[in-house]
């Protein structure tokens, strides 16, 4: 970066105009001088006393010239207050990465720097700032020559390059941007369209973007099925469900309450969203038909019916049990805080166990049996002495009853060192969808809800694996192609 600073003593700048490009010399009169290098000839100058010309070189070779005129004041004073930017222009300086021989001038009536011939370099000052280059769409033109065959039998032309969605103008990188913007950054299609129109003058139809999403999900369906099989092949998963509104085609203007059933493998760090029209047991029962192992869940009765299958062992969630006592503090503070103190000890011990044996599930199990399992039994024993002293329908009574009913599942946590104390990890996986549905409000159809489930599965797994979802999708899609 090169910065020039000039001060002029003349009070009369009214006659000054820009002429041929050049650089004014120190102390030169302004009449007939070029004040703004690169400015259009004939640009009028107002009456000011100080003039700064700043010249910046960017990494891509652009040179930006900014002229600053400061009103009044003594010579040598900083021109930062009350400055008026009268002209800013840019011109290409090919290959220019850094300008030498000049430096920022400071001091009245003098320009520092200049010719460095014979001078000894004693160091340099480096300043770093941040710029932002907005993302912008780029139109790609593919030109394919056509040749007439010598025998007149047809035309010879190369096949067009493949794209993820055949006959669509969208490339893989743009698809990746649009889908991550919606399902990671929670920007509905209509907001993205407004941004495209505002920044680039491009206004795609919302239905077109919906078709692009559907085509992309059609491409990725085999990968989604492979993800499903990989999670179900595990012998420990967590399960939860979350509502989502879907437009009902049978009832105009109304929405249907559907559910995203979520299955999480904490060991492999993978998550699967599966859309179902209801909250009944048919959906999870169908998906878990071939599963055998631990299923960690809350106290929803559907899971109890699924757990009747001898191949499935239910494990409980301590956070749900604790939450009941937290909610009961307003009605019975003393008893609720007694229980919460014991839960706190459990989680403090769990933290120590994880620090002592990180990812060593064989060591975690005996340490939990020694330090945490007795605390859980202590809560059960305390509830046994207090439960009949409170009203069954009070908040504290319901909290105690929930703990006792869930105790067999809570105790099953200690059967394997891989099992988490709670379902917090799966609730974290659901949170992006909970934020997203507040923005896009509903899905347009049941098929669109399943497409959303597919993308939440991929993006949620990327997050758990610490993978950039946009880059992952951008690299993946060019290898896929579908017909529309």
124-152 pLDDT, tens digit per residue, is 999 999 998 888 888 989 999 999 988 88
pLDDT at position 134 is 81
**Tens of pLDDT, residues 184-223:** 999 999 999 999 999 999 999 999 999 999 999 999 999 9
| Whole-number Å distance between alpha carbons of 438 and 433 | 9
Specify whether the CB–CB gap between 102 and 3 falls below 8 A.
Answer: yes
Task: Work out the average pLDDT over 285-314.
Answer: 93
The CA–CA distances, whole Å, from 402 to 119, 154, 235, 483 equal 84, 78, 26, 53
Task: Work out the average pLDDT over 225-232.
Answer: 96
Query: How would residue 482 be classed by pLDDT, with cut points 50, 70 and 90?
Result: low
| pLDDT for 302 beyond 50 | yes
pLDDT at position 439 is 87
Of the candidate ranges 87-91, 119-123, 158-162, 465-469, the one whose mean pLDDT is the lowest: 87-91
| Whole-number Å distance between alpha carbons of 331 and 339 | 14
Q: What is the 3-state secondary structure (H, E, C) of 330-381?
A: CCCHHHHHHHHHHHHHHHHHHHHHHHHCCCCHHHHHHHHHHHCHHHHHHHHH
pLDDT at position 441 is 83
| Whole-number Å distance between alpha carbons of 194 and 445 | 23
pLDDT at position 328 is 95
**Whether the model pTM is above 0.85:** no
Q: What percent of the chain has pLDDT over 90?
A: 61
**Tens of pLDDT, residues 379-414:** 999 999 999 999 999 999 999 999 999 999 999 999
pLDDT at position 468 is 96
pLDDT at position 37 is 44
Query: How would residue 483 be classed by pLDDT, with cut points 50, 70 and 90?
Result: low
Of the candidate ranges 78-92, 157-171, 203-217, 283-297, the one whose mean pLDDT is the lowest: 78-92
The CA–CA distances, whole Å, from 484 to 168, 174, 180, 292, 443 equal 8, 18, 22, 39, 21
Strand positions, DSSP E, 251-292: 255-265, 270-276
Task: Give Cβ neighbours of residue 474 (< 8 Å, ≥ 6 apart).
Answer: 172, 173, 176
pLDDT at position 101 is 40
Decide which of 35 and 418 is more confident. Answer: 418
pLDDT at position 29 is 38
Count of C-beta atoms within a 10 Å radius of residue 17: 17
At 136, give phi and psi (nearest 5°).
Answer: -140, 145
Determine which helix (DSSP H) or strand (DSSP E) holds 292, and give its type and residue range.
none
Determine which helix (DSSP H) or strand (DSSP E) holds 145, and give its type and residue range.
none
| pLDDT for 52 beyond 60 | no
pLDDT at position 25 is 39
Half-sphere exposure for 383 (CA within 13 Å, toward CB): 25
The two three-digit tokens of residue 384, written as one number:
């046994």
Task: Work out the average pLDDT over 316-333.
Answer: 94
Task: Give Cβ neighbours of residue 430 (< 8 Å, ≥ 6 apart).
Answer: 240, 242, 260, 262
């Amino acid at each position: 970066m090169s910065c020039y600073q000039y001060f002029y003593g003349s009070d009369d700048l009214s006659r000054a105009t820009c002429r041929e490009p050049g650089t004014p010399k120190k102390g030169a009169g302004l009449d007939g001088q070029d004040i703004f290098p690169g400015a259009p000839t004939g640009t009028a100058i107002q009456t000011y006393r100080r003039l700064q010309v700043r010249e910046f070189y960017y990494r891509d070779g652009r040179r930006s010239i900014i002229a600053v005129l400061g009103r009044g004041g003594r010579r040598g004073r900083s021109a930062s207050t009350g400055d008026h930017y009268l002209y800013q222009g840019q011109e290409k300086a090919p290959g220019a990465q850094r300008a030498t021989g000049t430096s920022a001038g400071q001091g009245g009536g003098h320009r520092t720097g200049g010719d460095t011939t014979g001078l000894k370099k004693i160091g340099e000052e480096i300043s770093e700032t941040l710029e932002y280059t907005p993302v912008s769409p780029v139109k790609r033109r593919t030109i394919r020559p056509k040749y007439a065959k010598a025998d007149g039998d047809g035309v010879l032309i190369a096949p067009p390059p493949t794209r993820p969605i055949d006959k669509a103008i969208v490339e893989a990188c743009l698809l990746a941007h649009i889908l991550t913007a919606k399902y990671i950054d929670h920007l509905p299609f209509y907001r993205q369209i407004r941004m495209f129109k505002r920044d680039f003058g491009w206004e795609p139809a919302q239905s077109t973007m919906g078709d692009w999403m559907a085509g992309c999900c059609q491409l990725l369906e085999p990968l989604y099925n492979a993800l499903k099989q990989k999670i179900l092949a595990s012998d420990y998963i967590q399960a939860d469900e979350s509502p989502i509104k879907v437009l009902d085609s049978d009832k105009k203007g109304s929405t249907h309450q559907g559910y995203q059933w979520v299955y999480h493998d904490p060991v492999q760090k993978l998550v699967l969203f599966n859309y179902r029209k209801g909250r009944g047991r048919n959906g999870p029962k169908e998906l878990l038909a071939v599963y055998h192992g631990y299923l960690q869940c809350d106290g929803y009765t559907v899971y109890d019916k699924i757990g009747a299958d001898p191949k499935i062992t239910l494990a409980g969630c301590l956070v749900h049990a604790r939450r009941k006592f937290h909610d009961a503090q307003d009605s019975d503070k003393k008893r609720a805080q007694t229980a919460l103190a014991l839960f706190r000890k459990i989680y403090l011990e769990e933290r120590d166990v994880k620090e002592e044996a990180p990812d060593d599930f064989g060591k975690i199990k005996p340490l939990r049996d020694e330090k945490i399992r007795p605390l859980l039994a202590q809560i059960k024993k305390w509830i046994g002495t207090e439960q009949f002293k409170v009203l069954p329908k009070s908040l504290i009574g319901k909290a105690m009853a929930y703990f006792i009913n869930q105790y067999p599942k809570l105790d099953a946590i200690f059967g394997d060192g891989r099992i988490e104390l709670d379902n917090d990890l799966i609730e974290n996986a659901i949170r992006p969808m909970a934020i997203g549905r507040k923005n896009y409000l509903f899905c347009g159809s049941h098929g669109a809800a399943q497409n959303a489930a597919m993308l939440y599965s991929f993006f949620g797994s990327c997050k758990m694996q610490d993978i950039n979802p946009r880059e992952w999708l951008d690299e993946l899609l060019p290898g896929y192609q579908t017909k529309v």
